[in-house]
Amino acid sequence: MKFILQDLKVNINNNIYLKDPESSTLGKKIIEFSILLIDEIGFDSFTFKKLGEKIGSNESSIYRYFENKHKLLLYLTSWYWGWLEYQLVFTTNSISDAKEKLNKAIEIITRATKEDSSFSHINEVLLNKIVINEYSKSYLTKEVDNENKEGYFSIYKRLVNRIKDMIMEVDNHYKYPTSLASTVTEGSLHQHFLKDHFSSLTDCDEKITPTTYFINLVFNSLNNQKNG
Amino acid sequence: MKFILQDLKVNINNNIYLKDPESSTLGKKIIEFSILLIDEIGFDSFTFKKLGEKIGSNESSIYRYFENKHKLLLYLTSWYWGWLEYQLVFTTNSISDAKEKLNKAIEIITRATKEDSSFSHINEVLLNKIVINEYSKSYLTKEVDNENKEGYFSIYKRLVNRIKDMIMEVDNHYKYPTSLASTVTEGSLHQHFLKDHFSSLTDCDEKITPTTYFINLVFNSLNNQKNG
DNA sequence: CAAAAGTAATAGTATTACTATCAATATTTA
DNA sequence: TAAATATTGATAGTAATACTATTACTTTTG
C-alpha cells in the first residue's frame, strides 16, 4: 500500500489555492510546516506571519499560494479526505461481500491515523488531529453556500456518498442511508475529540474505539425489522 | 409551560462573565442584540465594536460584562442548553414508561426551535440557529481543557448525561449509552446544518426531520439482539 | 546569456481586540 | 437631601492581524 500511495496526488479544486503548493519547494514547505504549526498552536492562533518565521520565508510569499488561512485549511482538509478516500476505495475494492465491505469502510473512516507514511512532506497523523480539531471551522461560516457551489467540499461529499452507497448495498430498505453515512463520518471526528477532552461524554477509550461503536451502531440499524 | 418558563433563570457559571448581564438593562441589551447580530453576520465577523454601535453603547461598556466574544458565546450556548434541559426535565418528568420517556427526550433535543417564547429578551429561534452554526467553535479551541475544568461546559455535559440515563433505562445491556447520547445531541445539530447547506449529505428535509432519523437510530440499537 | 518566474524585503493600511483614564450620570445609603 | 458609590460613555492608545503594493534580488529555463 505504501508503495502505491507514494504516487498519490490528491486532486484539489484549483480555486482553493492561488498557486499549486505541490509545484514548488516553498509550496511544499508551506504545507509541511503549516500542519506542524496548526497542530502546535491551533488554527485560531495560526497566522501566515508565524508560518513565515517558522520556514524562514516572508509572509507575502505565502500569500502568493493561498488567499488566506481559511483557504489553506480547506486545502489541508481536502487533502486529508482525498487521502482517506483513496484508502477506502483501494482497500474495499476487492471485497465482494457487502457487509464485509461496509465493515471495512467504517473501520477506515473511523480509525485514528497512527502511522505517518513518511514518504512525503505531509504528516498524516498530525493532519488527522487537525481534522478532528478544526474541520468544522472550514464549513461553519457565512460563506459556506458559495464555497460549496465552487466545489470546495466535493471530495468530502464524494466520500460520504461512497459510504452511503455501501450502506444501501447492505440494506436497500433502510430509509436514512445518507444521514447515517454523514453521522458516522462527522460523528467519528466528534467521538475522537470527546475521548481526548470530554471523557464523560463518550464510551470510547483505549479499549473501546469509535470504530467499535460505529460498527455496532450501523449494523444495528441495517436489516433490522424495526427500521421499516 | 410558557408561564412556568417565565421565571426561568438559567444558572450559568459565573466565571463566564465579569458582570452578570441579567443584573442590568445594558446587560440584557447585550444578550438580546448579540443574538440578533451573531445570527445576522456570523460569529466570526461579530465584534464588540459592532455590537456597541447596534445598541448605542460603547465598546468598553460591553467589555465590562464579558472578557471577549468567546466568553459571550459560551454564555449564550450555556443558556441555550440550560433552557433545553429545563424543557427536557419538565416534559419527561411525568412519563413513567422508559421508552416513551426517551422518545420524548430525543424529540426535544433534536427538534428545531420554531417559536420564540417572546416573554424575554432572548430570541430562542435565533439562538437555536446560532447553536447549530457556532456551538462547535466554543470547544474546538486550545483552551478547552482548562475551560472544561472551570466548569464552562457543565450544563451541556449534564444534559447529555440525562439522555444517557434514559437510554440505560430502556436497555441497560447496551454498551455505548454515553456515546449514543452525545451522538444524538451533537449529530442533531449537524443534521440540521446539513439540511440547510449540504442537502446531499442528509436524508432530512421538510418531511423527514432529524427527530425521525434519530428516534429510528436509537431504538434500532436498543433491545436489539445484535447489540450484545 | 537573457528573459521569465519565483521569492524576499520593506512599507503601508484598515481592522481587531483589547486596556486605561477620566468625565458624566444614575443609584444607593447615611 | 447630600455624599458616596456604581455604572456607563467618550476618548485615546497599543499590539497584533490580515492583508496589498512595490521593488529588488535570485533562480530556472529556453
For residue A144, being part of any structural domain is answered with yes
Distance CA(B163)–CA(B154), nearest Å, equals 14
Q: What is the spatial distance between Cα B177 and Cα B170, in angstroms, rounded to a whole number?
A: 10
DSSP letter at A111 equals: S
Q: Which domain holds residue A141?
A: 2-12+77-227
Residue B82's CATH number: 1.10.357.10
Contact between chains at B197 and A42 (C-beta distance less than 8 A):
no
- Closest chain B CA to residue A39: B142
DSSP labels, B96-165: -SHHHHHHHHHHHHHSPP-----SSS--HHHHHHHHHHHHHHHHSSTTHHHHHHTTTTHHHHHHHHHHHH
**Cβ proximity of B217 and B195 under 8 Å:** no
Q: Is A95 helix (H, G, I), strand (E, B) or coil?
A: coil
List CB contacts (< 8 A) between A217 and chain B: 176, 180, 183, 217, 221
What are the backbone angles phi and psi of residue A114, rounded to the nearest 5°?
-110, -25
Each of the 228 residues of chain B gets a pLDDT tens digit; together they read 444 555 567 899 999 999 999 999 999 999 999 999 999 999 999 999 999 999 999 999 999 999 999 999 999 999 999 999 999 999 999 999 999 999 999 999 999 998 777 668 899 999 999 999 999 999 999 999 999 999 999 999 999 999 999 999 999 999 999 999 999 999 999 999 999 999 999 999 999 999 999 999 999 999 876 654
Q: Which residue is nearest to nucleotide C20 (CA to C1')?
A: B60
Q: How many whole angstroms separate alpha carbon A215 and alpha carbon B148?
A: 29
For residue B228, give the chain A residue with the closest CA.
Answer: A216
Q: Please say whether the beta carbons of B198 and B192 come within 8 A.
A: no
A45 located within any domain: no
> Which of B32, B204, B176, B35 is closest to B111 using CA atoms?
B204
Which cell numbers in the block locate residue A106? 467504517
Nearest by CB to residue B183, choosing from A157, A187, A200, is A187
Handedness of CA A218, A207, A77, B178 (dihedral sign): positive
Asked whether residue A57, judged by its CB, lies under 7 Å from any atom of the DNA or RNA strand C, the reply is: yes
- How far is the C-alpha of B131 from the C-alpha of B1, rounded, in Å? 23
- Which tens digit of pLDDT belongs to each residue from A109-147? 999 988 767 567 899 999 999 999 999 999 999 999 999
d(CA A202, CA A196): 10
CA A204 from chain centre, in angstroms, equals 20
Show the 3-state SS of B48-92: HHHHHHHHCCCHHHHHCCCCCHHHHHHHHHHHHHHHHHHHHHHHH
Q: What are phi and psi of A11, to 5 degrees?
A: -85, 100
Task: Indicate yes or no: CB of A176 within 8 angstroms of CB of B41.
Answer: no
DSSP-based three-state secondary structure for B15: coil
* Long-range contacts (CB closer than 8 Å, 24 or more residues apart) made by B197-201: B197/A139, B197/A144, B197/A145, B197/A148, B198/A139, B198/A148, B198/A153, B198/A157, B200/A157, B200/A161, B200/A178, B201/A157, B201/A160, B201/A178, B201/A181, B201/A182
**Nearest 5 degrees, angle CA B128-CA B197-CA A67?**
110
Q: How far apart are the first and last CA of chain B?
A: 40
For residue range A164-213, what is the model confidence (pLDDT) as tens digits?
A: 999 999 999 999 999 999 999 999 999 999 999 999 999 999 999 999 99
- Residues B60, B47: Cα–Cα separation, whole Å: 12
Q: Which chain A residue lies closest to B196 (C-alpha atoms)?
A: A145
pLDDT digits (tens, 9 = 90+) for A26-37: 899 999 999 999
Number of separate domains in chain A: 1
In a domain, A28, yes or no: no
**Cβ atoms of A15 and A150 closer than 8 Å:** yes
Task: Enumerate the residues of chain A whose CB falls inside 8 A of the CB of residue B153.
Answer: 198
Report the candidate in B113, B142, B102 with the shortest Cα–Cα distance to residue B209: B113
In a domain, A142, yes or no: yes
pLDDT of residue B3: 43
Per this entry, what is the length of chain B?
228
Contacts of B170 (CB under 8 A, 6+ apart): B98, B99, B102, B222, B223
